[in-house]
Structure 1
């Protein structure tokens, strides 16, 4: 435990000395290998980035399609509301017209109208 933190240990000194003594061709091979590994890593990261870009574009497209679909459904719903109001208005107009013509409201049941109760159905 006599070695201080700033001084390299005996083991570290031996490793450093071995590295210095290596022949240049060995060091060159190590650097070539390191470079190839970095190239491979770079290609893998480029591929990941491309795949994420594709995924992002697909999600953007899906989101736009959902927005379009939502707008189409909103428009359809508004159109149906308008149509329903128009039909309600038409029904009220016809009910009013019928009441003006015949003096009674239209019967919704299958029973005979009140003024026809005593009349024979045979002609």
Structure 2
């Protein structure tokens, strides 16, 4: 019984944190691009939205909600890309690095772990 409650509460916290991340990056003149597919829903932020999300510390919510239980896809030239399939990057470091590049942006998605293995996926690029 407690396992089910814990899973439900983790999912609720994760959904709330993801919503906060997405809202933080949205800004007033939002151009957030929604994405969805089999087992995932999320958004791609513009560079400007990525900068705002980083400035607000929204990446900390990724770790608050998911700890280390999330996936990230980093460009080959990312300072956090170890080339080993594992990275020590935190959610905030992930956002800050993308924001530091002139065209850097991020995509964020809540995923079905049964389909994708983890409950959250983030990717960065544009540089």
TM-score (normalizing by structure 1) = 0.23
Greater fraction of residues in strand:
2
TM-score (normalizing by structure 2) = 0.22
